[in-house]
């Protein structure tokens, strides 16, 4: 399943996208489960886990906690922290819940303002890094009478448990006696309004600070929390990062083939095989096989592979042009944190070029908030005015920037009429531009049949919107590998440095880690399953089917009925793994039934998986009566909704109950894990 993103906000919306569910279980003992966030590579600057001690030692009076999985809440926390500092002189620290213990949480005094930016995942669950905090709130916290707080929830209204965690944090803190000083706010990725929702909530917070709490506002001045120092080192010195995934890869200080592997430490895996799966001049889908031999990295069927990207050469060029950084790409700098609550986001010393290529999210779109904050560094007054004009108007920003899908560099050059923004301090760029995140893909192999290989199936994202070419970061990287590895003459849409820092990625290696998901086959192989996955939603089901074939071949198991519902445009263009299904059918015999909907076969009569479900309503009901598990993978907003309402109707009719009762039954299937979704 492709989780790659067209741009940063889309990435987050899909997430990351687009994306898949990042299960909370850990692959490795010792995987600390912290968020794959903004400053994931290095733990915060050596502070203790004692929150109150860190707060006092660094003289802070504002804490911005974030529960984040793919970095949005973390990015917002960092922006809010900067703004409260520059406008009100608040001394704030951002806090990853995973970095602290909560035993003295109740000692946070009323002199400290607390913000909670909380994303929701799965069936209304907290992010990995916030699990312990909720355990504390639910089971250990006594009273929090001195805590003053405001909560912003990050969610997606296409999910059933919309913003459950933001709401829960808001309610639970109040129940425990904490005082809310500003209204609860929430943002909706489903409507694509997350950035604007956050800005509205932030405006209401600022209103409360000024009008209720009598904070005085002064003219915003940028105060870096990271200080940049030009380094004495040169690019060739061994200690200098060329964009290696982390310090261990710079120093080769540990055995890099042994885990634990996680969001902070990837395995460098060789892509041993790639193949184009579509038969189309305009669309592309890459099958890629990652080699795990020689490492203790393991996965289980249904998990997700995180692939760590680097940026495309064309986007890097544009970014260097926009900030006039060409001459500096090989220069080396170091970062020093202003205090111990600030994390250095990547290994330094490092070159400017490596930061742009490997650490910054430069191909996504620009946010209104970013325009407002960068305006102070505009190359001239006219540009500053223009940045503020667009930044201050939701409507103008939407029509002139957002809808045109400008990435950051294109937007800035458009606003300045081509003049480079050469006054922007690089520490501002490091602090304000979101950091490049791994993209997650549903694994399309089976750990029973492929013990030392992980397969992924990625549709290459490349779209011309107006004059803008919008490309997914990882999927185009995989396409570059596919072209080169198979000696093709095709011209890729965008190009990459496939050799990586110090040639460490040569021979088609990429940094990866595995995240365990909750999308799992029933433990009893004879339990029937109904799998629904159109498009690249088929990916985990290819893994499931291969697992079933191996259950028979290796374990001599008796397997239950498998109904697979797949959809694509046409038999000749995008029928994924078309050549493989007959051999699976042969191995599984009459227990396997595949139903394929072709949406473009008959232009007057578009057929989707829902139609195939209706055609098979009777059999679906009978399998559900036999205890079948249902699995849905693919697009969350449209397909998964339509599939669920179709299943609701099928069950209602089959059991002669109302649609409401049937929907209730499906909800109970979900809580019993008999209805599982891997949707984005
Ligand atoms: N939002 C909800 O309101 N309820 C959910 O149950 C929910 N589950 C999600 C599952 C997945 C796999 C993904 C990718 C997103 C889900 N979301 C859900 C939306 C996220 O909360 C939202 O995208 C948020 O901005 C992510 O913040 P983060 O980048 O800080 O992790």
329 labelled ligand-binding: no
Note the ipTM here. 0.97
pLDDT the model gives residue 604: 83
Question: Taking residues 313-329, what's their average pLDDT?
Answer: 98
Same-domain check for residues 346 and 457: no
- For the record, the structure tokens of 151 come out as 């909560």
Looking at 403, 432, 461, the residue that finishes a domain is 432
* pTM to 2 decimal places: 0.89
Same-domain check for residues 408 and 459: no
Residues 182 and 214: beta-carbon distance below 8 Å: no
Q: Cα separation of 292 and 294, whole Å?
A: 6
Confidence of residue 149 (pLDDT cuts 50, 70, 90): very high
Same-domain check for residues 546 and 401: no
CA 545 / ligand 1 centre spacing (Å): 28
Same-domain check for residues 320 and 299: no
Task: Residue 668: count other Cβ atoms within 10 Å of its Cβ.
Answer: 11
Task: Indicate which residue's Cα is closest to atom 25 of ligand 1.
Answer: 154
Least Cα distance to 532 among 448, 628, 453 occurs for 628
Same-domain check for residues 127 and 182: yes
Question: Who's near 127: CB < 8 A, 6+ residues apart?
Answer: 35, 67, 68, 69, 73, 118, 119, 121, 165
- Cα angle 129-135-136, degrees, rounded to a multiple of 5: 100
Residues 545 and 562: beta-carbon distance below 8 Å: yes
Element (H, E) at 227: strand 226-230
Position in ligand 1 atom list of the atom nearest CA 678: 12
- Cα angle 386-392-395, degrees, rounded to a multiple of 5: 100
Looking at 409, 432, 455, the residue that finishes a domain is 432
Same-domain check for residues 417 and 474: no
Report pLDDT digits (tens) over 385-415. Answer: 999 999 999 999 999 999 999 999 999 999 9
600 labelled ligand-binding: yes
Q: Cα separation of 18 and 40, whole Å?
A: 19
Instruction: Count structural domains, the chain.
Output: 4
Q: Cα separation of 539 and 456, whole Å?
A: 7
For a ligand 1 pocket test, name from 68, 79, 119 the mutation site with the most ligand atoms within 8 angstroms of its C-beta. Answer: 119
- For the record, the structure tokens of 145 come out as 């009478």
Active site residues: 442, 633, 678, 680
DSSP string, 458-497: EEPPEEEETTEEEE-HHHHHHHHHHHHHTT--PPPSS---
Question: Taking residues 481-505, what's their average pLDDT?
Answer: 97
CATH value at residue 675? 3.40.50.80
Same-domain check for residues 634 and 544: yes
Same-domain check for residues 150 and 277: no
Strand-pairing partners, residue 219, are: none
- For the record, the structure tokens of 240 come out as 């200098």
Report pLDDT digits (tens) over 298-307. Answer: 999 999 999 9
Same-domain check for residues 82 and 209: yes
406 labelled ligand-binding: no
CB burial of 532-543 (b: ≥16 within 10 Å; e: otherwise) equals bbbbbbbbbbbb
Mean pLDDT taken over the chain: 91
Burial class (CB in 10 A: 0-12, 13-18, 19+), 146: middle
CA 648 / ligand 1 centre spacing (Å): 24
For a ligand 1 pocket test, name from 8, 116, 129, 154 the mutation site with the most ligand atoms within 8 angstroms of its C-beta. Answer: 154
73 labelled ligand-binding: yes
Looking at 492, 515, 538, the residue that finishes a domain is 515
Residues 83 and 432: beta-carbon distance below 8 Å: no
For a ligand 1 pocket test, name from 8, 64, 72, 120 the mutation site with the most ligand atoms within 8 angstroms of its C-beta. Answer: 120
Give residue 561's domain range.
Answer: 529-679
pLDDT the model gives residue 46: 64
pLDDT the model gives residue 190: 87
CB burial of 112-128 (b: ≥16 within 10 Å; e: otherwise) equals bbbbbbbbbbbbbbbbb
pLDDT the model gives residue 671: 87
Question: Taking residues 131-160, what's their average pLDDT?
Answer: 95
CA 156 / ligand 1 centre spacing (Å): 6
Identify the sign of the CA torsion 81, 163, 13, 275: positive
Report pLDDT digits (tens) over 94-138. Answer: 999 999 999 999 999 999 999 999 999 977 899 989 999 999 999
CA 155 / ligand 1 centre spacing (Å): 5
Cis-peptide into 235, omega within 30 deg = no
Same-domain check for residues 536 and 491: no
Q: Cα separation of 36 and 16, whole Å?
A: 11
- For the record, the structure tokens of 50 come out as 């004692």
Report pLDDT digits (tens) over 425-443. Answer: 999 999 999 999 999 999 9
Question: Taking residues 561-589, what's their average pLDDT?
Answer: 97
CATH value at residue 81? 3.40.50.360
Position in ligand 1 atom list of the atom nearest CA 15: 14
Range of lowest pLDDT (41-55, 283-297, 449-463): 41-55
Least Cα distance to 98 among 57, 142, 47 occurs for 47
Same-domain check for residues 485 and 590: no
Report pLDDT digits (tens) over 356-365. Answer: 999 999 998 8
Instruction: Say if 493 falls within a structural domain.
Output: yes
Q: Cα separation of 274 and 290, whole Å?
A: 9
Task: Indicate which residue's Cα is closest to atom 31 of ligand 1.
Answer: 69
Same-domain check for residues 171 and 196: yes
Least Cα distance to 226 among 432, 403, 80 occurs for 432
Given the DSSP bridges, would you call strands 62-67 and 92-96 parallel, antiparallel or unpaired? parallel
Question: Taking residues 597-610, what's their average pLDDT?
Answer: 90
- For the record, the structure tokens of 141 come out as 């916290």
CATH value at residue 384? 1.20.990.10
Confidence of residue 9 (pLDDT cuts 50, 70, 90): very low
Report pLDDT digits (tens) over 10-59. Answer: 333 333 333 333 333 222 222 222 233 333 333 445 678 999 999 999 99
Q: Cα separation of 304 and 444, whole Å?
A: 9
Question: Taking residues 185-196, what's their average pLDDT?
Answer: 94
Range of lowest pLDDT (27-31, 171-175, 492-496, 552-556): 27-31
């Amino acid at each position: 399943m492709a989780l790659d993103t067209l741009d940063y906000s889309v990435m987050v919306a899909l997430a990351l996208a687009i994306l898949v569910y990042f299960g909370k279980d850990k692959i490795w003992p010792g995987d600390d489960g912290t968020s794959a966030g903004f400053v994931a590579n290095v733990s915060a600057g050596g502070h203790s886990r004692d929150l109150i001690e860190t707060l006092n030692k660094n003289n802070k009076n504002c804490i911005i906690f974030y529960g984040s999985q793919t970095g949005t809440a973390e990015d917002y926390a960092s922006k809010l922290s900067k703004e409260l500092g520059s406008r009100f002189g608040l001394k704030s620290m951002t806090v990853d819940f995973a970095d602290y213990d909560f035993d003295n949480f109740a000692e946070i005094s009323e002199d400290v303002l607390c913000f909670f930016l909380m994303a929701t995942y799965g069936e209304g669950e907290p992010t990995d890094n916030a699990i312990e905090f909720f355990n504390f709130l639910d089971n250990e916290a006594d009273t929090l009478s001195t805590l003053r707080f405001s909560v912003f929830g990050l969610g997606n209204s296409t999910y059933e448990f919309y913003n459950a965690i933001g709401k829960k944090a808001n309610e639970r803190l109040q129940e425990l006696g904490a005082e809310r000083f500003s209204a609860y706010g929430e943002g909706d990725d489903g409507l694509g309004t997350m950035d604007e929702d956050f800005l509205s909530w932030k405006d209401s917070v600022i209103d409360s600070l000024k009008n209720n709490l009598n904070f005085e506002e002064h003219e915003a001045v940028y105060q870096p929390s990271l200080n940049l120092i030009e380094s004495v080192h040169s690019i060739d010195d061994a200690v200098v990062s060329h964009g290696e995934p982390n310090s261990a890869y710079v120093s080769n200080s540990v055995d890099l083939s042994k885990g634990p592997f996680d969001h902070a430490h990837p395995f460098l895996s060789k892509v041993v095989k790639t193949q184009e799966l579509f038969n189309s001049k305009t669309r592309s889908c890459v099958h890629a096989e990652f080699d795990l031999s020689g490492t203790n990295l393991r996965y289980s069927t249904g998990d997700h592979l995180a692939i760590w990207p680097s940026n495309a050469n064309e986007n890097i060029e544009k970014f260097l042009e926009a900030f006039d950084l060409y001459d500096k790409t090989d220069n080396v700098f170091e970062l020093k944190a202003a205090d111990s609550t600030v994390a250095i986001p990547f290994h330094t010393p490092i070159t400017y070029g490596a930061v742009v290529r490997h650490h910054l999210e430069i191909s996504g779109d620009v946010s209104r908030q970013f325009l407002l904050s960068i305006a102070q560094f505009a190359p001239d007054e006219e540009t500053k005015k223009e940045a503020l004009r667009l930044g201050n108007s939701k409507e103008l920003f939407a029509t002139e920037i957002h809808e045109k899908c400008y990435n950051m560099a294109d937007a800035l050059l458009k606003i300045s009429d081509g003049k480079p923004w050469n006054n922007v301090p690089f520490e501002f760029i490091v602090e304000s531009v979101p950091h490049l995140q791994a993209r997650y893909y549903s694994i399309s192999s089976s750990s029973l049949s492929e013990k030392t290989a992980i397969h992924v199936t990625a549709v290459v994202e490349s779209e011309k919107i107006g004059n803008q070419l919008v490309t997914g970061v990882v999927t185009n990287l995989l396409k570059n590998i596919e072209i080169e590895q198979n000696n093709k003459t095709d011209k890729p849409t965008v190009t990459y440095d496939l050799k990586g820092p110090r040639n460490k990625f040569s021979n088609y290696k990429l940094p990866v880690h595995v995240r365990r998901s909750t999308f799992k086959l029933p433990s009893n192989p004879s339990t029937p399953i109904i799998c629904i996955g159109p498009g690249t939603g088929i990916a985990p089901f290819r893994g499931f089917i291969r697992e079933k074939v191996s259950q028979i071949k290796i374990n001599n198991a008796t397997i239950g009925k498998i109904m697979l519902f797949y959809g694509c445009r046409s038999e000749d263009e995008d029928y994924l793994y078309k050549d493989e299904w007959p051999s699976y059918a042969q191995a599984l015999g009459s227990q396997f039934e595949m139903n394929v909907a072709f949406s473009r076969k008959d232009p007057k009569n578009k057929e989707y998986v829902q139609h195939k479900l209706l055609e098979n309503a009777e059999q679906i009901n009978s399998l559900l009566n036999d205890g079948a598990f249902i699995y849905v993978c693919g697009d969350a907003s449209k397909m998964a909704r339509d599939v669920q309402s179709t299943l609701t109707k099928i069950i209602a009719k089959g059991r002669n109950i109302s649609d409401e009762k049937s929907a209730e039954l499906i909800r109970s299937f979900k809580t019993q894990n008999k209805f599982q979704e891997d949707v984005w």
